[in-house]
Amino acid sequence: MTGMPEPGRPTGSDPLVITGYGHYFPEDRRALDGFPALRPGHPEQAVVGHAVPNSRHVCAPGEGVEELALAAGRQALQDAGRQPNEVDLLILSSWTNPIPLPARAPAVAARLGSSRALAFDLNAACLGFLLGLRLAGEHLRSNPSSVVLLVAADRFSQRVRPGSRGELVCGDGAGAVVLESGAAEGSTVLDVALRSEGELAGVVTVRGKGQWITSREDVAEVASGAMIARATEVLERCGLGLPDIDWAVPHSGTAQVLESLHGRLGLPPEQVLTNYQHRANTGSATIPSSLSEFRRSGHLRAGDLVLAPSVGSGWYSGAMLLRM
């Protein structure tokens, strides 16, 4: 990234600002607290960890990525005080749609009432939200008066093999943000660090007739190491360190990933915010939905400095610094 303009700076000194947040989870919330911990040495323990979340959300029949995106997008627009017809660009991050064509973003824009918006799909697996921020920043850099709606929506429950332990740690949900530049009031994206490493493409894959997700046993170690590397990079680029951070809001792949990340990050557990325990892993929706939920609950307040690292199959890694 050396020599590139700061990703969080659309036009010189004009910041990239989140002016609205939204999230949505299906009504079908399934309790998981009755499932026993895996025994030591179980083949799935290295991937999903010792325990499962308390609950996860699953889409109802007829409810899919579009419906998830619409609900979160509407909430974000309302929070920003914007109307759907004011949206100039709509980016939909999703990797769990079972049908590759047609793209879903144009349909989401049409149903939302954002008919004049350019809309496109983005697939960077669980890193999609952070990559979407970078793309939004580049758009606003050349179109500073634009309004961008970035939505991350994943129906993760349909990408795990029925009966596997993975089925207990993956849920459905969506998170959304409205992005603007200049003097708009809101949360300032200070920087976004991104990296792709094709040599690690086999860490997480989708295989078989059912297109079930499969992870290598070292996924937690690889994921936590990559998130720490990008977190260190983005902090150094901004002249900051971990002591400056108020909150970490990481992508929560599994309990095993979170445990490994906690150990390497060095922050007290009470400074790490995630909705994994109640929502499970919702793919690229994890970070935006967590930001929206914890802002609404009052945990995240104006002025707080937030570090949000993530990874995604590809292999991708990234981290964002956000001033609430």
Domain residue extents for the chain: 16-181, 187-323
Distance CA 317, CA 177 (A): 20
Query: What residues contact 99, with CB distance under 8 A and at least 6 apart?
Result: none
Per the DSSP assignment, residues forming a β-bridge with 172 are 155
Compute, in degrees rounded to 10, the torsion defined by CA atoms 318, 305, 174, 53.
90
Q: Any idea which of 84-88, 122-126, 183-187 has the lowest mean pLDDT?
A: 183-187
Token readout for 278 is 């109640």
| Alpha helix stretches (DSSP H) within 200-285 | 219-237, 255-265, 276-279
Selected residue with higher pLDDT from 52 and 171: 171
pLDDT above 70 covers a percentage of the chain that reads 86
Q: What is the pLDDT of residue 21?
A: 99
Distance CA 149, CA 114 (A): 10
Q: Would you place residue 200 in the very low, low, confident or very high pLDDT band (cuts 50, 70, 90)?
A: confident
pTM of the model: 0.89
Q: Would you place residue 2 in the very low, low, confident or very high pLDDT band (cuts 50, 70, 90)?
A: very low
Q: Would you place residue 185 in the very low, low, confident or very high pLDDT band (cuts 50, 70, 90)?
A: confident
Is the predicted pLDDT of residue 210 greater than 80, yes or no?
no
- Kindly state the helix (H) or strand (E) to which residue 309 belongs, with its residue range: strand 305-312
Q: Which of 193, 188, 91, 192 is nearest to 149 (CA)?
A: 91
Q: Any idea which of 202-211, 230-239, 246-255 has the lowest mean pLDDT?
A: 202-211
**Nearest 5 degrees, angle CA 251-CA 256-CA 260?**
80
What's the chain's average pLDDT? 86
Q: What is the pLDDT of residue 47?
A: 47
- Residue whose pair of structure tokens reads 């008919």 in the numeric block: 115
Compute φ and ψ for 40, nearest 5 degrees: -55, 135
Is the predicted pLDDT of residue 34 greater than 90, yes or no?
no
Q: What is the pLDDT of residue 164?
A: 66
State the average pLDDT over residues 280-295.
Answer: 95
Distance CA 83, CA 146 (A): 13
Q: Is 281 a catalytic residue?
A: yes
Query: How far apart, in Å, are the Cα atoms of 192 and each of 74, 93, 152, 263?
Result: 25, 16, 17, 23
pLDDT above 90 covers a percentage of the chain that reads 58
Token readout for 319 is 């981290």
Is the predicted pLDDT of residue 257 greater than 50, yes or no?
yes
Distance CA 103, CA 236 (A): 37
Selected residue with higher pLDDT from 202 and 299: 299
Is the predicted pLDDT of residue 77 greater than 60, yes or no?
yes
**Which amino acid is it at 149?**
L
Q: Is 275 a catalytic residue?
A: no
Could you tell me the fold of the domain covering 187-323? Answer: Peroxisomal Thiolase; Chain A, domain 1 (3.40.47)
Q: Is 262 a catalytic residue?
A: no
Distance CA 244, CA 46 (A): 32
- Residue whose pair of structure tokens reads 């939909």 in the numeric block: 92
Is the predicted pLDDT of residue 3 greater than 60, yes or no?
no
Q: Would you place residue 51 in the very low, low, confident or very high pLDDT band (cuts 50, 70, 90)?
A: low
State the average pLDDT over residues 155-162.
Answer: 78
Q: Is it true that 16-181 and 187-323 share their CATH fold?
A: yes
Q: What is the pLDDT of residue 163?
A: 64
On whether the CB atoms of residues 249 and 307 are closer than 8 A, the answer is yes
Q: What is the pLDDT of residue 11?
A: 36
Is the predicted pLDDT of residue 213 greater than 80, yes or no?
no
Compute φ and ψ for 256, nearest 5 degrees: -65, -40
Is the predicted pLDDT of residue 269 greater than 60, yes or no?
yes
Query: How far apart, in Å, are the Cα atoms of 121 and each of 108, 124, 229?
Result: 10, 10, 27
Is the predicted pLDDT of residue 259 greater than 80, yes or no?
no
Query: Of the listed 126, 139, 170, 275, which one is catalytic?
Result: 126
Query: Of the listed 97, 170, 251, 275, which one is catalytic?
Result: 251
Is the predicted pLDDT of residue 260 greater than 70, yes or no?
yes
Could you tell me the fold of the domain covering 16-181? Answer: Peroxisomal Thiolase; Chain A, domain 1 (3.40.47)
Q: What is the pLDDT of residue 6?
A: 45
| Alpha helix stretches (DSSP H) within 51-157 | 65-80, 105-112, 128-142
- pLDDT winner (highest mean) among 2-6, 16-20, 256-260: 16-20
